[in-house]
Chains A and B, each alone.
Chain A
Amino acid sequence: MKSFSKMVYPYVLWAIIMIVVPMMMIVLYAFTVKGNAVLTFQFTFDNFVRFFSDPVFPGVLWRSLKLAVITTLICIAAGYPTAYVMAKLKPNSQAVIVLLITLPMWINMLVRTYAWRGILAHFALSGEAKVYVGMVYNFLPFMILQIYTSLSKIDPNLITAAHDLGADNIQTFRRVILPLSLSGVVSGITLVFLPAVSSFFIPKLLGGGQYVLIGNLIEDYFISTGDWNFGSSISLIMAVIILISMYVTRRLDRYTAQGDDD
């Protein structure tokens, strides 16, 4: 065992170079101002003050969060019934449907979004509506598959037992199936909400440039403006929000897991 644990070192090295060092650089940039050589950098909160003192930037943040929350809710609303119906099918049909749902993912997300742009060109929708279509389309499979997995893991004997004890279909669903499948919903939320908050090419391609989100803002400040310090501070604010939402979903997961024990 001991000799095997050494095999993890290359990964640790990789993670330090590729994840930890860039994160440190983002933090360093976020707390400094432009024009400073790294050796003489000056600690400052200016970038954060600038972000929160102008209503425009928190507005963009709010819009991104709203988009992510609504996308996640639509995905749950559409994904849960789909997964429920799937789990009730014969095993062979289930395999076919899982294949059909994963099939589009064989093609790159960017390519599929370009395809949507062509399709949506024929519909008189607002830029915002188009962005929602693209977001839900891209993230729905993750939600369906997560919920489906947790639903199909439920022991059928539990449902039989519930019926034997006199529960009707609605009661069985509410008291047995739903609580047992919540962990799937929670991991679905993690897989949909987190990438949705930071997505930037879907709004860029489908929103006609009229729909600026926090991801677009970061891109703008890094590439067009060349203000890496402010861009880094927005990235950091973004990272904190993601950490908080991960913590919340983790708590939610634990809460539902406790529910299972009762």
Chain B
Amino acid sequence: MEIKKILKITAALSTAITLTSCGSGTAEDTETVDAKEAYGCNVLNVYNWGEYIGEEVISNFESQYNAKVNYDMFDSNESMYTKLLGGNSYDVLVPSDYMIERLIKEGLLQELDKDAITNIDALDPVVVEMQKVYDPDLSYSIPYFRGSVGIVYNTEHVDPAEVEEKGWEILRDPKYKGRVFMYDSQRDSFMIAFKALGYSMNTENEQEIEEAFEWLKELHNTVDPAYVTDEVIDAMIYPDAVNYKDLAVVYSGDAAYIMSENENMAYYEPQQGTNIWSDGMVIPKNASCPGLANAFINYILTYDASYDNSITVGYTSSNKQVKDDIASGDYEGISAYVPRDGYEKDEVFRFNEVLVQKLSERWTKVKIAE
């Protein structure tokens, strides 16, 4: 973790240098606003994913708006939701698609002030289409990043042709026993099983769920995978001397970051289909400074802030110009930076409480199966 932080800081510094050398005049043009005067409050509570923001983004916002940002991080949509229900007040949250859908349905969000979000035209139409599935007019949410789920593999030990031929099934190949990282998330793991079996990841069919459960148990028993979350990033960049892994289930943005640090790693989105997702910025009902929150969302969409975010973290920017520039710039040749879109077998995950309940208990059982 520590090494990664240092790398990110150096990455951010070099970005800052490139940016200044490019002579981005935009930063000087932006007028400063006094948050207290404009919105009646100058403290903004932001709750975002860990390792999900550029190094300068918050401090630039603070000086531009003469405001103070309390920046808090979560590691799963569910823990964010639990904390929100626990009565914590936040101004801006950045949950994933299905969680935004849930928050909208449960009436926990307030409508955005579209007049304040003037940079909305900068959004990439691809991610807007994905978001429209559950928030048709973007009334509650503005896309932040998007991505897919795929397999990162070590090209020194695994033949790309084999990954392409087997797709998700390669994760169950006994040949790779002890060499597989699964992502410790019921949603992503069951998605893999559903897709490998040719089902929709949004199925409610009891029979299909049971088959997926068996698929995952067999995976657990044949390859003895390690169930990890963010640790997978460091582990694939710096493979262990003895306990290295060859295959890992990874989000596209993390994959892009891994590939930019370790050239032996490659990313593949199986032909059986995968989950394409987006994370969006929303304002909860109990926000204490909604005016500033809208200004923050608008600020994130600016070229500079989006660029800093995307280049630091590796996830695909929702700002089209930034995405295009990075894809043909720093992340050129890194396929994971631009996830597949428009493929019929790829799906957006929808919120479904019944399914979540069914999967979560089964997921716990997969992990403790002997």
- Chain B 348-370 interface 0/1 with A at a Cβ cutoff of 8 Å (1 = within): 00000000110011011101111
Residue from the set A60, A209, A221 with the largest chain B CB neighbour count within 10 Å? A209
Q: A124-B243, A212-B367 are in contact. Are A225 and B360 (CB under 8 A)?
A: yes
Determine whether A123 belongs to the interface, using a CB cutoff of 8 Å to chain B.
yes
* Contacts between chains A and B (CB distance < 8 A), count: 61
Q: How distant is A215 from chain B, measured CB to nearest CB, in Å? A: 13
Q: Is the CB–CB distance between A223 and B82 below 8 Å?
A: yes
Determine whether B176 belongs to the interface, using a CB cutoff of 8 Å to chain A.
no
B contact residues, range: 20 to 34
Q: Is the CB–CB distance between A209 and B368 below 8 Å?
A: no
Determine whether B186 belongs to the interface, using a CB cutoff of 8 Å to chain A.
yes
- Residue in A closest to B365 when the chains form the complex, CB atoms: A56
Determine whether B51 belongs to the interface, using a CB cutoff of 8 Å to chain A.
no
Cα-based distance from A121 to B228 in the complex (angstroms): 14
Q: A127-B226, A209-B228 are in contact. Are A121 and B364 (CB under 8 A)?
A: no
Q: Is the CB–CB distance between B360 and A210 below 8 Å?
A: no
Q: Is the CB–CB distance between B241 and A60 below 8 Å?
A: no
Q: Which residues in A have their C-beta under 8 angstroms from that of B356? A: 225
Determine whether A259 belongs to the interface, using a CB cutoff of 8 Å to chain B.
no
Cα-based distance from A124 to B226 in the complex (angstroms): 14
Q: A209-B228, A210-B224, A224-B78 are in contact. Are A123 and B242 (CB under 8 A)?
A: yes
Q: Is the CB–CB distance between A208 and B368 below 8 Å?
A: no
Q: Is the CB–CB distance between B242 and A124 below 8 Å?
A: yes
Determine whether B76 belongs to the interface, using a CB cutoff of 8 Å to chain A.
yes
Determine whether B184 belongs to the interface, using a CB cutoff of 8 Å to chain A.
yes
Q: Which residues in B have their C-beta under 8 angstroms from that of A209? A: 184, 226-228, 367
Cα-based distance from A240 to B87 in the complex (angstroms): 30
Residue from the set B79, B228, B364 with the largest chain A CB neighbour count within 10 Å? B364
23 pairs of residues in contact across A and B, judged by CB atoms under 8 Å: A56-B369, A59-B368, A121-B241, A121-B243, A122-B240, A124-B243, A127-B226, A208-B227, A209-B226, A210-B224, A210-B225, A210-B227, A210-B367, A212-B368, A223-B78, A223-B82, A224-B76, A224-B79, A224-B186, A224-B363, A225-B361, A226-B81, A227-B360
The 7 residue pairs across chains A and B that have the minimum distance between CB atoms = A209-B227, A208-B226, A121-B240, A225-B360, A212-B368, A124-B242, A223-B79
- Give residues in B with beta carbon < 8 Å to A: 1, 76, 78-79, 81-82, 184, 186, 224-228, 240-243, 356-357, 360-361, 363-365, 367-370
